[in-house]
């Protein structure tokens, strides 16, 4: 089996200081928490931006400052920026994080319900955002909340807008979308074309059980406060504790943890592009 890529999803759009004291919100807090997660075994970080009031934003300057600080404290880690819609529905604003030239950015290839909203990613928006990924050479992590989103990604690949091998993240257990069960994870993993890579983000209490299944299946895992606030014992978790939990399970099973360089190879990322985000942030 390949070594295990652990992604840390530190902040998201939803968690607040009232929900957990451990969520990092400012660029400085996020960068310091990234360093702790890398020390615990993370090779990839999934990054959201918040404004000074803690609200979700797609502001380029805040993403840039966050990236600069991460590169200072954890120069090797792979940075993946979110293009999620809770921070804004304007197409150009949602493309901003990709245009900053991170190594990766998230790309949800379809629509579904989430608490309080329709997470809207219409067909013409998918063509637009896939075009931005194509033009910039940024690798998408295809966020799959429902199985049809795999077909949509393969359609974009057929249109020559996405380049194989594709990398998928199965987001399971979000209220409004597919349940966080091992059966769903097996079905989705079996639905991918050969050569694809995948990770799983279990929401809430499904986070660690689905991570455990993915480690056994040869997939990769995403953990962090964006998806789940608690350790399996019910206490509020830090991001580093969630990474450490996944790393400990992997080591117990005899699966080694990938370094950032090893994760780049597994994900077919060009190592020469790892600092493009710094040049774009000048
Ligand atoms: Zn996210």
In the reported structure, the alpha carbon of residue 197 is separated from the centroid of ligand 1 by a whole-number distance in angstroms of 18
Q: What is the pLDDT of residue 89?
A: 78
3-state secondary structure of 69: helix
Q: What is the pLDDT of residue 86?
A: 74
Contact criterion met (CB below 8 Å) for 228 and 202: yes
* Model pLDDT for residues 237-250, shown as the tens digit of each residue: 999 999 999 999 99
Asked if residue 79 has pLDDT above 80, the reply is: yes
In the reported structure, the alpha carbon of residue 202 is separated from the centroid of ligand 1 by a whole-number distance in angstroms of 12
In the reported structure, the alpha carbon of residue 198 is separated from the centroid of ligand 1 by a whole-number distance in angstroms of 16
In the reported structure, the alpha carbon of residue 84 is separated from the centroid of ligand 1 by a whole-number distance in angstroms of 6
Before 165, cis peptide (omega within 30)?
Answer: yes
This prediction has a pTM of 0.97
Asked if residue 282 has pLDDT above 80, the reply is: no
Partner residues linked to 168 by β-bridges: 142, 198
Q: Domains plus CATH for the chain?
A: 6-280 (3.20.20.70)
Q: Beta 117-119 vs 112-114: how paired, if at all?
A: antiparallel
Q: What average pLDDT does the segment 185-204 reach?
A: 98
Asked if residue 85 has pLDDT above 90, the reply is: no
* Model pLDDT for residues 134-171, shown as the tens digit of each residue: 999 999 999 999 999 999 999 999 999 999 999 999 99
Q: What average pLDDT does the segment 207-234 reach?
A: 98
Q: What average pLDDT does the segment 177-182 reach?
A: 98
Angle, alpha carbons 109-115-129 (nearest 5°): 20
Reference 126, options 103, 159, 104; nearest CA is: 159
Q: How confident is the model at residue 280 (pLDDT cuts 50, 70, 90)?
A: confident
Q: How confident is the model at residue 197 (pLDDT cuts 50, 70, 90)?
A: very high
Q: What average pLDDT does the segment 15-32 reach?
A: 98
In the reported structure, the alpha carbon of residue 82 is separated from the centroid of ligand 1 by a whole-number distance in angstroms of 5
Q: Could you tell me the end-to-end alpha-carbon distance of the chain, in angstroms, rounded to an integer? A: 40
Calculate what percentage of the chain has a pLDDT beyond 90: 95
Q: What average pLDDT does the segment 197-208 reach?
A: 98
In the reported structure, the alpha carbon of residue 190 is separated from the centroid of ligand 1 by a whole-number distance in angstroms of 24
In the reported structure, the alpha carbon of residue 10 is separated from the centroid of ligand 1 by a whole-number distance in angstroms of 9
Q: What is the pLDDT of residue 84?
A: 85
Contact criterion met (CB below 8 Å) for 106 and 100: no
Residue with tokens 């792979």: 78
157: exposed, middle or buried (C-beta count within 10 Å: 0-12, 13-18, 19+)? middle
Q: What is the pLDDT of residue 281?
A: 58
Phi/psi region, residue 16 (left: phi>0; alpha: psi -120 to 50; beta: rest), is beta
Q: What average pLDDT does the segment 187-206 reach?
A: 97
206: exposed, middle or buried (C-beta count within 10 Å: 0-12, 13-18, 19+)? buried
Query: What are the counts of helices (DSSP H) followed by strands (DSSP E) for the chain?
Result: 10, 12
Q: What is the pLDDT of residue 138?
A: 98
- Residue 56 CA from chain centroid, whole number: 16
Tokens of 237: 């978790």
* Model pLDDT for residues 116-133, shown as the tens digit of each residue: 999 999 999 999 999 999
């Amino acid at each position: 089996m390949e070594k295990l890529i652990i992604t840390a999803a530190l902040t998201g759009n939803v968690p607040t200081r009232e929900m957990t004291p451990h969520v990092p919100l400012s660029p400085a807090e996020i960068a310091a928490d990234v360093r702790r997660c890398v020390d615990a075994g993370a090779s990839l970080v999934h990054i959201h931006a918040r404004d000074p009031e803690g609200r979700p934003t797609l502001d380029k300057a805040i993403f840039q400052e966050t990236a600069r600080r991460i590169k200072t404290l954890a120069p090797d880690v792979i940075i993946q920026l979110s293009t999620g819609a809770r921070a804004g529905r304007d197409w150009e604003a949602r493309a901003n994080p990709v245009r900053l030239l991170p190594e990766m950015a998230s790309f949800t290839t379809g629509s579904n319900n989430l608490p309080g909203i329709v997470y809207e990613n219409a067909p013409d928006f998918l063509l637009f955002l896939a075009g931005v990924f194509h033009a910039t050479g940024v690798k998408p992590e295809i966020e799959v909340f429902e199985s049809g989103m795999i077909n949509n990604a393969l359609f974009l690949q057929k249109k020559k807008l996405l380049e194989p091998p594709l990398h998928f993240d199965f987001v399971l257990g979000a209220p409004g979308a597919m349940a966080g069960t091992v059966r769903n994870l097996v079905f989705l993993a079996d639905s991918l074309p050969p050569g694809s890579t995948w990770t799983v983000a279990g929401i809430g209490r499904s986070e660690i059980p689905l991570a455990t299944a993915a480690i056994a299946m040869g997939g990769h895992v995403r953990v962090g406060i964006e998806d789940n606030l608690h350790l399996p014992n019910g206490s509020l978790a830090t991001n580093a504790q969630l990474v450490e939990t996944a790393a400990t399970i992997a080591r117990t099973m005899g699966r080694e943890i990938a370094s950032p360089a090893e994760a780049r190879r597994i994900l077919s990322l060009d190592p020469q592009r790892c600092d493009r985000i710094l040049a774009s942030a000048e």
